[in-house]
């Protein structure tokens, strides 16, 4: 199974939050938008945790196949979705749609309930994490 990794899951692992995926989760084929890298480091810096967490963040991100924000993905993000979504969520959903168009069926791993609902409304599977 291919798992589309949302930033919320990586941050939960990075900051050892109450919810974090089991160790086996990280052995799956993981994909995400290049946006993941920027969201993760933005949150690390916002928490003042760069010195303590940047290396581990890079190691986790290195396990993920990143999909570039191509014109095709960006154009899809301009179109309406089944539910109203936030801007960054639109980019993640557009990346999921792009992967689907490529013949892949990634399951979304997220702790963000709004993103999960929007993805489900678009017909995407949700991954256990």
CB-based burial, 38-77: b 16+ in 10 Å, e otherwise: ebbbebbeeeeeeeebeeebeebbeebebbebeeebeebb
Beta bridge partners of 108: 4, 126
- The three-state secondary structure class of 115 is helix
Radius of gyration of the chain (CA): 14
Inside any domain, residue 102:
yes
Inside any domain, residue 59:
yes
Torsion sign (Cα): 8, 14, 20, 24: positive
Q: How confident is the model at residue 50 (pLDDT cuts 50, 70, 90)?
A: confident
Spatial separation of the C-alpha atoms in residues 101 and 54, rounded to whole Å = 33
Structure tokens that stand for 9 in this block: 């899951």
Residue 94, pLDDT score: 98
Inside any domain, residue 44:
yes
What CATH number did the domain enclosing 26 receive? Answer: 3.40.50.1010
pLDDT surpasses 80 at 105:
yes
Residue range of the domain that includes 53? 2-121
Inside any domain, residue 129:
no
- Give the total number of structural domains in the chain: 1
Structure-model confidence comparison of residues 68 and 50, the more confident one = 68
Inside any domain, residue 86:
yes
Structure tokens that stand for 125 in this block: 């599977």
Tens digit of each residue's pLDDT (9 = 90 or more) over 57-102: 999 999 999 999 999 999 999 999 999 999 999 999 999 999 999 9
Percent of the chain clearing pLDDT 90 (strictly above): 84
Spatial separation of the C-alpha atoms in residues 108 and 85, rounded to whole Å = 16
Inside any domain, residue 128:
no
Rounded mean pLDDT, 10-30: 87
Residue 49, pLDDT score: 86
Phi-psi region of 16 (alpha: psi -120 to 50; beta: other; left: phi over 0): left
Inside any domain, residue 89:
yes
- Mean pLDDT over each residue of the chain, to the nearest integer: 94
Whole-prediction pTM? 0.93
Inside any domain, residue 126:
no
pLDDT surpasses 80 at 126:
yes
């Amino acid at each position: 199974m291919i798992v589309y990794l949302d930033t919320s899951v990586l941050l939960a692992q990075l900051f050892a939050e109450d919810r974090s995926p089991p160790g086996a989760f990280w052995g799956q084929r993981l994909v995400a938008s290049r946006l993941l890298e920027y969201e993760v480091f933005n949150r690390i810096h916002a928490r003042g945790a760069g010195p303590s967490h940047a290396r581990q963040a890079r190691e986790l991100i290195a396990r993920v196949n990143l999909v570039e924000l191509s014109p095709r993905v960006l154009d899809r993000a301009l179109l309406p979705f089944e539910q109203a979504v936030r801007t960054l969520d639109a980019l993640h959903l557009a990346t999921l749609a792009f992967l689907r168009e490529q013949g892949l069926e990634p399951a979304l791993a997220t702790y963000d309930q709004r993103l999960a609902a929007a993805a489900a409304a678009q017909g995407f599977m949700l991954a256990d994490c």
